[in-house]
Amino acid sequence: MDDYKKANLALWNEWADLHARSDFYDVAGFKAGKTSLNPLEMEELGNVAGKTLLHLQCHFGLDSLSWARLGARVTGVDFSDQAIALAHSLSQEAGIDAEFVCSDVYELPQVLAGQFDIVYTSYGVLVWLPDLRKWATVIAQFLKPGGVFYLAEFHPFAMVFDNSETATGLRVQYPYFHTAEPLVFDVQGSYIDRQAQVTQKVQYEWDHSLGEIIEALIAAGLRLDFLHEFPYCTYPMFPSLMEQCSDGMWRLKEGDGSIPLMFSMKAIK
């Protein structure tokens, strides 16, 4: 497991600077006042003003700082030291108060104390975690009684299909159910730019079914408040098969609405 983590950490340290300079993340727009949050999570999580919010796997902090702009008292967490350094810098440049902690999710109880009104995480986070039961236990530990856990994520059903740039249709290529050994991928740039040059050439991911995600949270003592599924995505998950619509979301060119591409859920402690 240490070898998997080291490889993924090296990759995310490279991606942090690459992403911070990209048009995809639009740091300049954020500094000018633009939010990095989608209407979906702002609407579903609601008013966060005055609430404490723990953001797990926060990358270099754009979403964390966007929640802080809305009045939350935010603590962002990521295992990439490069990403956390960028988050600190961005916080200072933008004049937005937030705390950032460099830690693996599983090791967080060893370096952070206290409980929060909200634990939040979103978009492309679960595939990097080998053990969702342990993940859910950490979430429950950091939630106050009555606190809210919110997740917006790419749908595990959609992630079974070939997502290469040359795919001509939805062809099953990856397992839906979790396996102990990770899926091994040759790195092709980044999800925002597959032509980008990176030195880390392999990454490791773990699939998790929707049932596994829900069961992990229930086992940790959380009560599911809602589960929503959506036929669109925040990025071109299948580059050759999707188009961006007027709302900024990406949908299948053919068979739009036929499969779920994202989901969101809220659970209460």
Amino acid 165: pLDDT: 87
Q: At residue 195, does pLDDT exceed 90?
A: no
Amino acid 121: pLDDT: 98
Q: Which of 11-15, 145-149, 236-240 has the lowest mean pLDDT?
A: 236-240
- Break the chain into its structural domains and give their ranges: 2-268
**What CA–CA distance (Å, rounded) separates 70 from 90?**
16
Determine contact, residues 257/231, Cβ cutoff 8 Å: yes
When pLDDT is cut at 50, 70 and 90, the band that residue 194 belongs to is: confident
Amino acid 8: pLDDT: 97
Q: With pLDDT > 90 as the criterion, what percentage of the chain qualifies?
A: 93
Q: What is the pLDDT of residues 55-74, one digit of tens each?
A: 999 999 999 999 999 999 99
Q: Which top CATH class is 2-268?
A: alpha beta
Q: What is the pLDDT of residues 85-110, one digit of tens each?
A: 999 999 999 999 999 999 999 999 99
Closest to 192 in 3D by CA, of 30, 5, 20: 20
What is the average pLDDT score of the chain? Answer: 96
Amino acid at residue number 57? Q
- The whole model's pTM is what? 0.96
Closest to 264 in 3D by CA, of 160, 155, 161, 157: 155
- Arithmetic mean of pLDDT, 157-171: 93
Kindly report the three-state secondary structure assignment for every residue of 54-101: EEECCCCCHHHHHHHHCCCEEEEEECCHHHHHHHHHHHHHHCCCCEEE
End-to-end alpha-carbon separation of the chain, Å? 30
Pairing of strands 250-252, 242-244: antiparallel
Amino acid 1: pLDDT: 58
